Structures are given as C-alpha cells and as structure tokens.
Amino acid sequence: MLKRSGLNRNLAVLSVTIFVNLFLRFMWYPLLPLHLRALGANEWEIGVSFTLIGIAQTLFSIFGGALADRYGRKWIIALPTFLMGPLYVAAALTTSWSVVVGMLASAFALGALLWPAFVALVAESAEEERVARAYSFTEAAVLTGAIAGPVVGAGLLAVLDIPTMILWSGIGLILTALLRVWGLREPSRRKVGSALPKLRAAIVTNVRWFIAMGSCITIAFSMSFGPYFAILARDAWRNSEPEINLLFAAGNVAALIGIVLGRLSDRWGARRVLMFAALGYGIGTIVWGLAPTWQGGLLPLLIAFGFSEAMIIAQQTLQAEITSPETRSPVIGIIATTTGFVGGLGPTLGAWLIALGGNSMPFVAAGATGLIAMIAVTQVAGLKSQVTGQATSLKSQVTGQGSPET
C-alpha cells in the first residue's frame, strides 16, 4: 500500500532505478539522430531507424504481460534490465550506424518485456484511489532523469563523446537490475496464474478505443519528441549539440508542471484531463514546429512538453481503470504492442513529411494527431460500470472452473 508518509518500497526502488537509467540515457539520447548522421546515416535512414527502435520498444510487451502474470512482476522487470546492459555496451563500441541501431533496438525490445509488469506493479503498489498519484512519482523520476541527463551531457560533451556516454548507460543498467532484484517485492494483490484464457473477454470496447487513442498519441510523440526534435533544432534553428540538449532539458522542466495536471486525474477524471491536455499539446506542437527560430519556438515547445506529460499520467490512470486485476498485465501488454507497432511508424512518416514540406511538417502532423486522439478518448465511456461488470464476469469464470526502459 502507498502510505501517507511517502512511497512504499516498490515505488521507491522503481523511482530510484528509473532516475539512474534515464539520467544516463538522456545524456546522449537527444543527440542520437546526429550521432547516426555522423556515422553515415541519411535522414530517411534515421527515420527508419527510429521507427525500428520505436516498434521494438513495445513489440514484445504482449509476451511480457503474459510472463508477468505467470511468473510475477519482479523478475520480469529485473532480468530484461540486466540483459539490456551488454547491448548498450556493444552499441558504444561500434562505428557502424546500423549496428548501433540494431543493438539499441534489441535492448528496447527487451525493455518492452518489462513494461506491462512495471505498469501493473505501480498500480498494484498503490491505494486504489491514488493510482494517478503513484504514477506521478514514477513520472517525476522519469522527468528528473530527462532534465538532469541532458544538462550534464551538454557539459560533458567537451570531454566525452557520445559512445562513451552510451557505455555508461550499459553499466548503469546492469547495476540497477541488481538493485531491482534486491529491492522489489511481489504485490499481495497479484493473483498468480495465467490470464490468457480470459483475455478475449477482457478486450472490451473501452480497450479497443483506448488502443486507437494510444496509437494516435504514440504517433504524435514519436515525431515531436523523436529524431525530428534534434533535426529541427540543428537544421532550422541552427542550435549546437549542447544547446539541443539544453532545449530538451528545458522541455522536461516544463513537463514537471504537467505532472500537477496529470495528478488531477484522480479528482477530475482521467478522460477529462486527457482531453484537455491533448488540446494543449496539439496546438503547442503545431506552433513549435512552425517557429522560425528557437526564441520563437521555445514557449510552444515548453507548452507541448507540459501537456504531453499530463497526457501520459492521465493515459496510464485511464488504462488502470479499464483493466481488471485478473487480466491487467496481459491486457497492458496487448495495448503496448499494438499502439507501439502503429505509433512506431511515426518517424518514417516524419521523414516523408520533411521531404514533402520541410522540417516543420512532422510537428504539424504530430499536433494534428494529438487532436485526433481527443475524438477517440470520448468513446472510452462508462468506465466504472464496465470495469465492475467485466471484473464480476471474470471472477465468476474463475469460480466456475478455478507495461522506458524504465
């Protein structure tokens, strides 16, 4: 349970390890498109590379959800974290852009295995009326790492290159995996067994609309916060690599404000917060992409980052509401895999849009897609009644027979 005095053990361990992993990764990750370009990749190849990485981030979530339901959350979170480390090390030691992409895509595919267990563990480690609050703590760890990492990375670029920073990430993953093995505990609310026979009944209309909405959000985020962030800043705004890192860090500072809005999902309702945040993100992203200079684009960039974070927390809270404990982990795996596969096409679509209309086009498309997500979320209705009815149905079936790199 999430005690009034603060985070419980699971949330504390997850928050600390998330911060360490993302702090090390975001020292260099915003500059990955430029690193691939320096190794010989062109814009189209960079777009395809980020599509592969994006799809890999969720490809095996469907299996991770089933494994977490069968064997428990702890080991499905810790083991992939450990195995990702050597792949990062290999990416750091090569001078081939395609090998870098291959190693990172493989690492992120392992990370997809742990995502459903991570999301389920956060929800199951919190009081039922404070799920958004629990997610806000882990998101704060994400953002703190995403702020500190680029700032420190910008300062270290004068003495360290990107491959060395990638190497540090690999070592950090191995160490945080060991901490997760030591520190995580299985939640008492988890039912050991397999939910696979009940999955078909669990994929109700709400879940299908949630997948449509999530696909729109993933497409939008993969373009605005993916490779075209650095490419727009370098090619259109003429920023240097340290300046690009600092812009990314500034965006994540604004995202901290989005946590405050996202936490209101417990009070105002996740659907309402998600719709409002999607509106702000969509407008902010379009203006950001159309700005001719970084001075003109900074404010809408900050607005887009802030509202995007509120969208993430509201989306996770809504996901917990439309899934039952009996099938939560496998259903989250299905949601992550399907939305990730569709949304992963965003970077390739962005490369085509740049060729069609210039560097601003991926941001215009991302903003428009965020606005389209508002339409889908309006169809995710009747949450409490449908969740209660679904859980009752699943319970009767049992009685009758028997989730970056985070």
CB 351 within 8 A of CB 343: no
Domains in the chain, CATH or no CATH each? 11-396 (1.20.1250.20)
Is the backbone of residue 72 left (phi > 0), alpha (psi -120 to 50) or beta? left
Per-residue pLDDT at 325? 63
Find where tokens 């719709």 sit: 275
Q: Specify the amino acid at residue 1.
A: M
Structure confidence at residue 129 as a pLDDT band (50, 70, 90): low
How far apart are alpha carbons 380 and 314 in whole angstroms? 13
CB 182 within 8 A of CB 9: no
- In three-state form (DSSP H/G/I as H, E/B as E, the rest C), the secondary structure along 245-286 is HHHHHHHHHHHHHHHHHHHCHHHHCHHHHHHHHHHHHHHHHH
Given a cut of 60, whether residue 195 has pLDDT beyond it is no
pLDDT tens, position by position, 158-178: 899 999 999 999 999 999 999
How far apart are alpha carbons 199 and 360 in whole angstroms? 41
Given a cut of 70, whether residue 324 has pLDDT beyond it is no
Per-residue pLDDT at 131? 67
Lowest mean pLDDT among 75-89, 100-114, 300-314, 316-330: 316-330
How far apart are alpha carbons 11 and 135 in whole angstroms? 9
CB 347 within 8 A of CB 359: no
pLDDT tens, position by position, 214-241: 889 989 998 999 889 999 999 999 999 9
Buried/exposed code over 114-146 (b: 16+ C-beta within 10 A; e: otherwise): bbbbbbbbbbbbbeeeebbbbbbbbbbbbbbbb
CB 18 within 8 A of CB 159: no
Structure confidence at residue 386 as a pLDDT band (50, 70, 90): very low
User: Does the reported pTM lie above 0.95?
Assistant: no
Share of the chain above pLDDT 70, in %: 83
- How many CA atoms lie within 13 Å of 141's alpha carbon, on the beta-carbon side? 21
Per-residue pLDDT at 261? 85
Find where tokens 């900050």 sit: 302
How far lies 144's CA from each of 88, 137, 173, 285, in Å?
A: 22, 10, 17, 22
Classify residue 382 as exposed, middle or buried by CB count within 10 Å of its CB (0-12, 13-18, 19+): exposed
